Amino acid sequence: MEKLEPRVAVVVFLVKGKTVLLGRRRSSIGDATFALPGGHLEFGESFEGCAARELKEETGLDIDDRKVEILTVTNNVSLPEDPKPYHYVTVFVRAVLGDPEQVARNLEPSKCDGWDWYEWENLPEPLFRPLEVMVRSGFDPFLKLPLS
């Protein structure tokens, strides 16, 4: 059997006005729920580099790499009823588009039904559980950071 170990994920609050980019997942983890773009940190990679790479791979979008901010880190452990056990240390970053006119493409259709912008005050349902937990706890990706 595969050894169970925590993995590191980097996911992106790509913000535009008061909206964020979300896609409906096709995955054994969180199937059919709305989630942020993102994926696994590769060996030697920076959080910012991973955020830019995953966003590009999944949507074709380019971020402004001078404006990537680390917002928070969460510890996401599967529940007994989940179809598959997992443990992710998830780094959430905030980013903005380089050119705001860019249009998101669904470059990994086997993993996502498509990308769209959603108002933060009117998010779609169901959200991917780690994201839903953050939203319910009052997390706001638009708040200014103390150091920015």
Q: How far apart are the first and last CA of the chain?
A: 45
> Contacts with Mg ion: how many residues (CB under 5 A)?
2
Q: Residue 80 or 146: which CB sits closer to ligand 8DG?
A: 80
Instruction: Count CB atoms within 10 A of the CB of residue 37.
Output: 26
Of positions 23, 39, 130, 141, contacts Mg ion by CB under 5 A: 39
Q: How far is the CB of 134 from ligand 8DG (least distance, A)?
A: 8
Q: Which backbone phi and psi does 53 adopt, to 5 degrees?
A: -65, -50
Give the H/E segment covering residue 113: strand 112-119
How many C-beta atoms lie closer than 10 Å to residue 69's C-beta?
Answer: 17
Task: State the nearest-atom distance from the C-beta of 60 to ligand 8DG, in Å.
Answer: 14
Q: Which residues bind ligand 8DG (CB under 6 A)?
A: 9, 11, 27, 29, 35-36, 38-40, 54, 76, 88, 90, 111, 128, 130-131
